[in-house]
Structure 1
Amino acid sequence: MSTDFQQAREVLGVRLRELRLSAPEGRLTGPQLAQRLGWPHSKIYKLENGRQTATADDLRAWAEGVAQPHVFDELDARLKGFESHIRSWRRQLAAGHRPVQESWNTEVARSSVIHAWEEAVVPGMLQTADYARHIFLRYAELQNSVRDTDAAVRARMKRQEWLYQTGRKLHALIWEAALHALVCPPSVLAGQLDRLAGVIGMDTVELGIIPLGEPLKIPTANGFWILDDRLVITEDWHAELWLDDVDSVAAYMRVWRTLRESAAYGADAHNVISTARRALNPR
């Protein structure tokens, strides 16, 4: 579990303890509060010491149990802050990749405009099922996580229905390196490149490819997704980050627009994809 996440749990636990000790009706012991809430005493101990992640229902019950229901909004804001910002892969993948994909599906369904940047892989919303399957298998092996590959692929493919809905727009940027990365067999990559070429011209997709030889104003760095103007999702090897503060969203949008300046579109993008496709079958 990430250090930042654990520290945030501990800080929330300190606040919960403060509320228990300052209850308007008088200081409550842990066993007293546990009895009032119908919880085992161990749950009080775990929450206050940052050993268990509270749910929104837990926090509401706690606020009411210490006779301070008005503090629920504060507690819930704290929970949403650390729970949404740092989502360790260890925690997320405990039940496999499908739940992670379904969380994405929920957020994508709420969005009208998405800006995506990927430097190493084809964006998930443009992946073929075969390509996605190999990606999930490789990450499951890396993270030693549950192999629910078929269910994860189905969830990712369901998300692509968004591309066929009126009023949606995906602005996708891809570094050409992703078109050559053999994270799957060449035959699968060939099919994926054909899929990419096929989305050029869709009214809900604006696809830009940054050629390898194109000058860059900034390093390509990690991939990320911007959902409307409310949420950025990016990832590193240890965790996925969900950033919803205004400054972070604005910063990632500046990065996306800067990268866009180096991108090829339309026929030029199609030519880059075609060149990568021919490289798989040089004869």
Structure 2
Amino acid sequence: MSNQAQEAREALGARLRGFRKDAGFASGRAFAVATGWAESKVSRIENGKQNASEDDIRTWCLKTDRQEHTKDLIATVRHIDELWLEWRRQLQAGAESRQSKALPVYARTKVFRIWHPTLVWGTLQTADYAAETLKQVVSFYEIPNDTEAAVGKRLERQQYLYRGNRIFNVLLAEQALYSNFGGPDVMKGQLDRLLAVMRLPRLSLGIIPRSAPVKIWPGNSFSMFDDRLVLVETYSAEFSVTQPREIELYTKAFALLKQSAVYGNTARELIMTAIHHFDRRSPA
């Protein structure tokens, strides 16, 4: 769970503990008896070790005579849930809906800072490369196969590369040039695409060579949208970072990663070397 979500859960637990004590329940055991819950459940909720459900909130407010706070606390619970979204829940209707949700965020953003250590950022992907990555998403999470529609939504993001005054700062590790999605032909098409977009005036594409000294460990991929939102992806979930002091850490991490990157002709040479690598592996 993200630090922000955990802090919010602990704050909620502390508030509920205050309600319990103010209502005359001196111990968690007494409150457990009144609610019919296990004492351990009361303790876990109050200490931020367990999520409170909406029904838990209703019961808590009823038993402590704080019904006027029910609506507000349920909104808090829903906000905590939104800070950490399981992929299976996000993708339950297929991948297209998740791709669609990104478009309003892109429309509002002026400065992007993107770090991908193992694959090409979605907004720079070709249709074939995007299809290969999304097929893996469908298979891994066992969700409805709407790959074609999801690819279309992902490619819609590319309009923002050419519209407005947005600035795109993109960092890829050299491994992203070699992670093989779809075989040599798909990879060569994707690498050619990188060479083409490097010429865009508002796109800065840096590549961190595999042997470059690093100022910070690579970590997970993350996407920063101005100074208001960071999205971090793991295998199980995506979490949102909106707390200013946490966003500052990602800003610092991006700056440190950037110190290891190469740009311009040196980056092009790395891409060309990767193209030659896949040339040698193409069917004769």
Structure 1: runs of 5 or more not aligned: 23-45, 51-65
- Measured in 1, the distance between the counterparts of 2:179 and 2:88 equals 26
SS in structure 2 at match of 1:79: helix
Question: Could you say which residue in structure 1 is the equivalent of 2:60?
Answer: none
- State how 1:56-95 maps to structure 2 within 5 Å: 68=68, 76=75, 78-80=77-79, 82-95=80-93
- The amino acid across from 1:128 in the alignment is T
Question: Could you say which residue in structure 2 is the equivalent of 1:214?
Answer: 212
- Measured in 2, the distance between the counterparts of 1:161 and 1:132 equals 16
SS in structure 2 at match of 1:94: coil
What's the TM-score, normalizing by structure 2? Answer: 0.75
- Measured in 2, the distance between the counterparts of 1:215 and 1:121 equals 20
- State how 1:3-42 maps to structure 2 within 5 Å: none
| Equivalent position to 1:193, from 191, 194, 197 | 191
1:253 Cα deviation after fit: 0.9
- Measured in 2, the distance between the counterparts of 1:224 and 1:260 equals 14
Question: Could you say which residue in structure 1 is the equivalent of 2:118?
Answer: 120
Alpha carbons of structure 1 residues 170 and 74: separation in structure 2 relative to 1, 3 Å: farther
1:67 Cα deviation after fit: 8.6
1:116-161 C-alpha deviation (Å, 9 max, x unpaired): 0000110011001110000000111111112110111011000111
Conserved? CA contact 1:84–1:243, under 8 Å: no
Conserved? CA contact 1:135–1:183, under 8 Å: yes
Aligned residues: 239
- Measured in 2, the distance between the counterparts of 1:112 and 1:156 equals 19
Structure 2: runs of 5 or more not aligned: 24-52, 58-65
- Measured in 1, the distance between the counterparts of 2:67 and 2:154 equals 44
Q: CA RMSD in A?
A: 3.1
- The amino acid across from 1:154 in the alignment is G
Question: Where do 4+ consecutive residues of structure 1 move more than 3 Å?
Answer: 66-69, 71-78
1:87-108 C-alpha deviation (Å, 9 max, x unpaired): 1011101011111111111211
SS in structure 2 at match of 1:49: helix
SS in structure 1 at match of 2:277: helix
What's the TM-score, normalizing by structure 1? Answer: 0.75
| Equivalent position to 2:244, from 243, 246, 251 | 246
